[in-house]
Each structure stands twice: as structure tokens, then as C-alpha cells.
């Protein structure tokens, strides 16, 4: 059974040229980048080359890139690093109501230990409006964190306008760009952000590596304490092979950004056209918002997403709800968007990627339509 992978928002395969770039640093170039001998210097140079490559993708300076163990660590460093430089009574954090858990959970942690946190609402299409940010800012607001693109419905947020609001109040702004990096432009100056997160496994690099852009002059409190690696913000011997892989992935993304976006959008739209033609009552989440070119969040009527995907074992995709002990719970994103529970139970997220073909799209549509018809009978 040939599997069709339409879960690129969950993780991507490692690109062949990324694997090729990494291999020498898993074998002969095994030195510690901090060691002052030939093997160490070779690894140090490789790490710095990768830093330059990631900076190039983001339009940043090399010194503004901090390598981490993944997007979750980068998000924790951004939120806790800003907020915990102040005492609980002196710092207020603002996040959106549909952030990834790697932002939402640190925000909840900070709230539990005494910091003030506000969660912003979104529109029915999954967009945080700049006015909502303006309304939530207080005299002691230290940071606003709003994801660049929602991982479930793909809605792109007006980060530049949000950043302008924050700038007018002298408030720092962070965006989790794990889903958008490599799919749309994530130039930090165009976005106007002070901090930006990327995750390697979302851009055809390995799991276990990420980066945080930290604009020059922004001070952070380290989350992990140790030696002076990564400017003292991420102590621990650098994971040279994975960092090299992330650098190579950044180069690939930079070269193919516009062309890949057009191709992915065409595949996404082809999938929606086939499903909606066969199932007119199917609805799309975030349909009126500007969205990632690869992401399609659908609601299939009168079934649950889990039941539907259970009938299509050849297809790898995600649901928009979770079923525990026979009870279906909608995702925080769909809940924040105000989707009716009866509609949300049939939510499925389909995300295409570099290696998706038109044949995959047509086959996936046929499988989903057949599964839905079987459940409807």
C-alpha cells in the first residue's frame, strides 16, 4: 500500500541535499566547535556558515541567530527570556488564543507564577486584528507573541501591522514562524519583529534543531544555564550536523520560495476543488483569510475527522479535533474561531509539500470522498 503524505504541517521529510550536507559532520568532522584544533575549527566554521545561511533566509544579521534544540525551545526562550527579566508585577504578556502549545504553555506557566497574561481573540477566519492588540496593551506590557501562520487552518496574521502597534507603545513583538518559514516570506525587517522562531523539521531539515532570531539590542534571560555557547543564550555543545542541515534547508527555501508557493497553492486548490465538487456541504476553515499556500482545513459533514481518516489508512493527515473516551473535543484553534462543535467534529487538515504530486492529490481526494460516502450510508 503506497501511502500518500498530506501532513507536511506536522513534519517534513529531510531533503536529500540536506542529508548530504549533514553526513560529513556525522562521520569525519566530529569535533567540538569550541575546540581550538583542526577538527574543532572545521565544525565551528560549519556552524557559522549555517548561521549566515539562516540569517540570509530571514533577512537578519548573522549575530542575530541563536541555534536551539527546536521550535519549542526557541519559543520558550523568547517568552520567558523577555518576561522573566522583570518581576511578576512589572511585566505583562500578550499572546493569541490559538497559539501552538510551545507558546501557549509557557504563557500559562508564566501566569501561574504570577505574571499577567492576556489571550487575544481572533476573527471567525482565524486572524488576530491589530486593534485587539492595541486594546490589550497595558503600561507594563513587555511582549506580544502572535504566530505568523496558524498551523491548523493556515491563516496568516497581520504581523507587520501588529508590530507597528507594538512599536508605538515600545513593546517587543515575537512571532512563531515555524509554519510559515520556507512557505512565504519571513523577512524580519518586513515583518517588523524583534524575535522570530523557526523549526528545522518544518523546513525539510531534521527534528531536534531550530533557531530564534533575536534583534540586536534585545536582551533575554537564558532559560538554560551553562557555558557561553550561542551568546550565552543556549549553552551546550552545538549540534553541528543538525545545524548544518538547517543551514542547507534555509538555502533551499530561499532559492525556491516563490516557485514552490505557486505550486503548493495549485495543489491545495486542486484538492479543494475535487472534494467540494463531490461533497458540496463540505466547508473550508479560514476561507476568507490570506492563508499558507499549502494548507487546507476542511469540515466534512455528519462524520468525525477521526472516523474519516480511519477509513483511509493509505492517507497520512491530521484531524481538527481529538476523541478521548468516546467524546470529541475540538482544537483550540477551531474553538477560538467560534466553529460550531457539530461542524468542528468533521475537521481534517490536509497539508501538501515539496514532494506532493498531482497524482497524490487526485488519489487523496478519491479516498476521502469514498470514505465519506461510506460513512454517510
Active site residues: 323
Q: Give the whole-angstrom CA distance, residue 286 versus residue 154.
A: 8
Q: Give the whole-angstrom CA distance, residue 303 versus residue 371.
A: 10
Q: Give the whole-angstrom CA distance, residue 374 versus residue 157.
A: 37
Question: Terminal CA-to-CA distance of the chain, rounded, Å?
Answer: 26
Q: What are phi and psi of 37, to 5 degrees?
A: -140, 180
Do residues 297 and 285 make contact, with C-beta atoms less than 8 angstroms apart? yes
Do residues 228 and 258 make contact, with C-beta atoms less than 8 angstroms apart? no
Q: Is 374 helix (H, G, I), strand (E, B) or coil?
A: helix
Neighbours of 315 (CB within 10 A): 21
> Which of 305-312's residues contact partners 24+ apart within 8 Å by CB, and which partners?
305/345, 305/346, 305/347, 305/348, 307/375, 308/346, 308/348, 308/368, 308/371, 308/372, 308/375, 309/348, 311/371, 311/374, 311/375, 312/367, 312/368, 312/371
Amino acid at each position: 500500500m503506497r501511502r500518500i503524505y498530506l501532513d507536511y504541517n506536522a513534519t517534513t521529510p529531510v531533503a536529500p541535499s540536506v542529508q548530504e550536507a549533514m553526513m560529513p559532520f556525522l562521520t569525519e568532522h566530529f569535533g567540538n566547535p569550541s575546540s581550538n584544533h583542526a577538527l574543532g575549527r572545521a565544525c565551528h566554521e560549519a556552524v557559522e556558515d549555517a548561521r549566515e545561511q539562516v540569517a540570509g533566509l530571514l533577512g537578519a544579521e548573522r549575530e542575530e541567530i541563536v541555534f536551539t534544540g527546536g521550535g519549542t525551545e526557541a519559543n520558550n526562550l523568547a517568552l520567558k527570556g523577555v518576561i522573566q527579566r522583570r518581576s511578576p508585577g512589572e511585566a505583562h504578556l500578550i499572546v493569541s488564543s490559538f497559539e501552538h502549545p510551545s507558546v501557549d504553555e509557557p504563557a500559562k506557566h508564566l501566569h501561574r507564577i504570577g505574571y499577567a497574561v492576556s489571550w487575544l481573540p481572533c476573527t471567525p477566519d482565524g486572524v488576530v486584528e491589530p486593534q485587539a492588540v492595541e486594546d490589550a496593551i497595558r503600561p507594563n506590557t513587555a511582549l506580544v507573541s502572535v504566530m505568523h501562520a496558524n498551523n491548523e487552518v493556515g491563516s496568516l496574521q497581520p504581523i507587520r501591522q501588529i508590530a507597528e502597534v507594538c512599536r508605538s507603545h515600545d513593546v517587543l513583538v515575537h512571532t512563531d514562524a515555524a509554519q510559515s518559514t520556507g512557505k512565504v516570506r519571513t523577512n524580519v525587517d518586513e515583518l517588523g519583529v524583534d524575535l522570530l522562531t523557526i523549526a528545522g523539521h518544518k523546513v525539510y531539515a531534521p527534528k531536534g534543531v531550530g533557531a530564534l532570531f533575536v534583534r540586536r539590542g534585545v536582551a533575554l534571560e537564558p532559560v538554560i544555564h551553562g557555558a557561553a555557547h550561542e551568546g550565552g543564550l543556549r549553552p551546550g555543545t552545538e549540534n553541528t550536523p543538525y545545524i548544518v542541515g538547517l543551514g542547507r534547508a534555509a538555502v533551499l527555501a530561499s532559492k525556491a520560495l516563490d516557485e514552490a508557493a505557486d505550486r503548493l497553492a495549485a495543489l491545495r486548490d486542486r484538492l479543494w476543488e475535487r472534494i467540494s465538487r463531490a461533497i458540496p456541504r463540505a466547508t473550508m476553515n479560514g476561507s476568507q483569510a490570506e492563508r499558507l499556500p499549502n494548507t487546507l482545513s476542511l469540515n466534512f459533514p455528519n462524520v468525525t475527522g477521526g472516523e474519516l481518516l480511519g477509513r483511509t489508512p493509505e492517507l497520512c493527515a491530521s484531524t481538527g479535533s481529538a476523541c478521548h473516551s468516546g467524546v470529541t473535543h475540538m482544537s483550540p484553534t477551531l474553538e477560538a474561531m467560534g466553529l460550531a462543535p457539530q461542524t468542528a467534529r468533521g475537521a481534517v487538515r490536509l497539508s501538501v509539500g515539496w514532494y506532493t504530486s498531482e497524482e497524490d492529490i487526485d488519489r487523496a481526494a478519491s479516498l476521502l470522498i469514498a470514505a465519506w460516502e461510506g460513512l454517510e450510508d
